[in-house]
Structure 1
């Protein structure tokens, strides 16, 4: 599985990398922290999964979702955020994301989606 991580916090990026480090079937194909690069690389790489934070520097994950919807991207997007406002979640879900997770207490659930998908490969 090819995974792209779009997260501006080095601490969170490292947390994700540590959590998947013992799973050789997950290949991190790109790490980025900003909107424009994320859009470019999602379009170019079309990874199986994207872990996407909504707060990027510069830009926003919500704008990434808006911008990639016009491409034929088949990536499953897992949004991880500290902004768990229900209106934001609804907007993200309107773009067809595969999951919406609160960084503070649902990190394991996000990882379960990744690891669970490996059983279907």
Structure 2
């Protein structure tokens, strides 16, 4: 990823202390710029429309609605917006709802700073992020979801699409996949689009769920944000 890229961030959290702590961390990192803060869903959605940030850091609990609902509304109106959910809750059901609503990731508020920064980089770059503390919690959820899906459509993938499959399931960005496989970004984008069509999915999390069922152990590949 280009080290010179500057990510513009909007933070939505009703806790003044939480906003202060995150603001201090963001201000210490040259690649992130906090361009706006809000304490409610209504205020935050208006701010996002005005500022058009690269990434939204969104608290799961807001005074005028849940972060999941806010994420769903935001993504419905601005499909290209990247959202990283902040939470103190490690409930797998809540995590699943957040990802289904369109969030790029879900990170606990007590996650170490270095992992926070990497999570923001990956989410802003279209990667899918789960904090390392959460992988074990959602594993059973993913297995249960996989039981209701078929892998028959896997046979429709081309050899090159099969090479991309585990990398997409890991949450790698298009650029990371392009580098790993010595392909252009545009070629990777086209392969992924064709893969989604053949698998009948629209999100990387769904690709991960399907791929999980093809593994001998029934597990999933996940990168730990370190």
Partner of 1:58: 64
Encode CA deviations 1:82-108: one digit per residue, 9 max, x unaligned. Answer: 12211110011112322101113x253
Greater shift, 108-117 or 91-100, is seen at: 108-117
SS at match of 2:64: coil
Q: CA deviation at 1:27?
A: 1.9
Higher relative contact order (CA 8 A, sep 6+): 1
Give the SS at the match of 1:18: helix
What is residue 17 of structure 1 aligned with on the other side? 23
- Contact 1:51–1:78, Cα closer than 8 Å, also in 2: yes
TM-score normalized with structure 1 length: 0.83
Consecutive unaligned residues in structure 1, runs of 5 or more: none
Q: Does the 8 Å contact 1:99/1:110 carry over to 2?
A: no
More strand by share: 1
Does the CA contact (< 8 Å) of 1:101 and 1:107 recur in 2?
Answer: no
**CA positional deviation for 1:57:** 2.1
Q: Superposed, which structure 2 residues align to 1:54-93 within 5 Å? A: 54-93=60-99
Secondary structure in structure 2 of the residue aligned to 1:51: strand
- Secondary structure at the aligned position of 1:20 is classed as helix
Corresponding residue of 1:110: 116
In 2, the alpha carbon distance for the partners of 1:76 and 1:47 equals: 9
Contact 1:32 1:38 in 2 (8 A): yes
Find the aligned partners of 2:37 and 2:64 in 1 and give their Cα distance: 15
Larger helix fraction of residues: 2
- After superposition, the CA RMSD in angstroms is 2.1
The structure with more radius of gyration: 2
- In structure 2, the partner of 1:5 is 11
Query: 1:46·1:74 contact (CA, 8 Å) conserved in 2?
Result: no
The secondary structure found in structure 1 opposite 2:99 is helix
